[in-house]
């Protein structure tokens, strides 16, 4: 699906991004992340390096309580086993009832009708943020009207790709940070979704939270790629960059259009 280009795009200042990063570091929000088996460990380490606290239980007896008491909820569909299919609606309902921000990452819905149907059903919980790429968006929405309907009710879309776009009922953000080597590490996108969710716990303007979170994660990837000899050393360097990122790092690198 091709996206209409907004007439104008919202600007983003380095100081704004850094101030939200500092809020995360000070608040140390707990993010309950229901994510895929491959991404769990890396996602937990990304959240900890950022200054947030991960929790990840899936047990149906516990998950609603963990989600309702967390500062935000991330739901990633990369693994769709029975435990997760049972846990996800319980967690989303509990988070919604408790007024917690919710991010949804419908991984690979373009490759599996099962996931796609499951993801479409989850839209009834009106997630604050949906993070996906264009093929996934095309699979989930038959036409642009479906996207617009959700946006009209307040959902924000973070559409990742060569250029990242944050689409909302207001002006869109267009973001240009990141590094190709990040795609050579498993679960970077999934972990990035957890970062966006963490920023949603400290910033009520979901589109702004998503723009700040995505920029911080992609700038960390750029900083890491400069130090790394390949995708292996990229991982520890990315975590170190998230942990140590300064206002100067953001000022030197933030790229929007």
Enumerate binding residues for a copy of itself (CB under 8 A): 37-42, 44-45, 48-49, 54-59, 61-62, 65-66, 79-83, 108, 111-112, 114-115, 183-187, 228-233, 235-244
Helices (H), the chain: 14-27, 40-50, 63-69, 82-97, 113-122, 134-140, 144-152, 188-200, 206-227, 231-244, 247-253
Q: Would you say 60 and 85 are in contact if contact means Cβ atoms under 8 Å apart?
A: no
Q: Considering the complex, state which of residue 37 and residue 98 has its C-beta at the smaller distance from a copy of itself.
A: 37
- For a copy of itself, the closer of residues 149 and 243 by Cβ is 243
Distance CA 175, CA 17 (A): 12
CA distance linking residue 204 with residue 53, whole number of Å: 19
When the beta carbons of 40 and 201 are compared against a copy of itself, the nearer one is 40
Q: Which is nearer to a copy of itself, 66 or 173 (CB)?
A: 66
At closest approach, how far in Å is the CB of 132 from a copy of itself? 17
Residues in contact with 205: Cβ distance below 8 Å, sequence separation at least 6, in sequence order = none
DSSP 37: T
Q: Please answer whether residues 159 and 133 qualify as being in contact, where contact means their C-beta atoms are separated by less than 8 angstroms.
A: yes
CA distance 72 to 87: 16
Q: State in angstroms the smallest separation of the CB of 156 from a copy of itself.
A: 28
Provide the minimum distance between the beta carbon of 230 and a copy of itself in the complex, in angstroms, as a whole number.
Answer: 3
Pick 207 or 238: Cβ nearer a copy of itself: 238
User: Residue 130: beta bridge partners?
Assistant: 104, 157
Rank residues 13 and 37 by Cβ distance to a copy of itself and give the closer one: 37
Q: How far is the CB of 246 from a copy of itself (least distance, A)?
A: 13
Could you tell me the smallest distance in angstroms from the CB atom of residue 175 to a copy of itself? 23
CB 51 within 8 A of CB 74: no
Please state the closest distance from residue 78 (CB atom) to a copy of itself, in A: 8
């Amino acid at each position: 699906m091709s996206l209409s280009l907004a007439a104008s795009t919202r600007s983003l200042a380095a100081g704004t991004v850094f101030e939200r990063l500092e809020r995360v570091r000070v608040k140390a929000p707990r993010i309950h992340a229901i994510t895929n088996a491959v991404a769990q460990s890396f996602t937990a380490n990304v959240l900890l390096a950022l200054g947030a606290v991960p929790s990840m239980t899936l047990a149906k007896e516990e998950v609603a309580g963990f989600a309702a008491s967390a500062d935000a909820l991330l739901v990633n569909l990369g693994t769709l086993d029975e435990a997760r299919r049972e846990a996800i609606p319980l967690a989303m309902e509990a988070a919604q009832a408790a007024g917690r921000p919710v991010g949804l990452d419908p991984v690979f819905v373009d490759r599996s009708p099962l996931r796609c149907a499951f993801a479409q059903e989850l839209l009834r919980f009106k997630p604050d943020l949906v993070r996906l790429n264009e093929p996934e968006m095309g699979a989930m929405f038959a036409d642009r009207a479906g996207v617009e309907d959700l946006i009209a009710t307040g959902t924000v879309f973070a559409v990742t790709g060569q250029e990242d776009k944050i689409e909302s009922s207001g002006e869109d953000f267009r973001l240009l940070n990141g590094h190709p080597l990040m795609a050579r590490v498993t679960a970077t996108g999934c972990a990035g979704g957890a970062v966006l969710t963490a920023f949603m716990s400290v910033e009520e303007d979901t589109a702004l939270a998503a723009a700040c979170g995505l920029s911080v994660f992609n700038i960390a990837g750029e900083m890491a790629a400069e130090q790394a000899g390949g995708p292996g050393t990229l991982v520890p360097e990315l975590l170190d960059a998230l942990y140590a990122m300064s206002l100067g790092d953001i000022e030197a690198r933030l790229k929007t259009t």
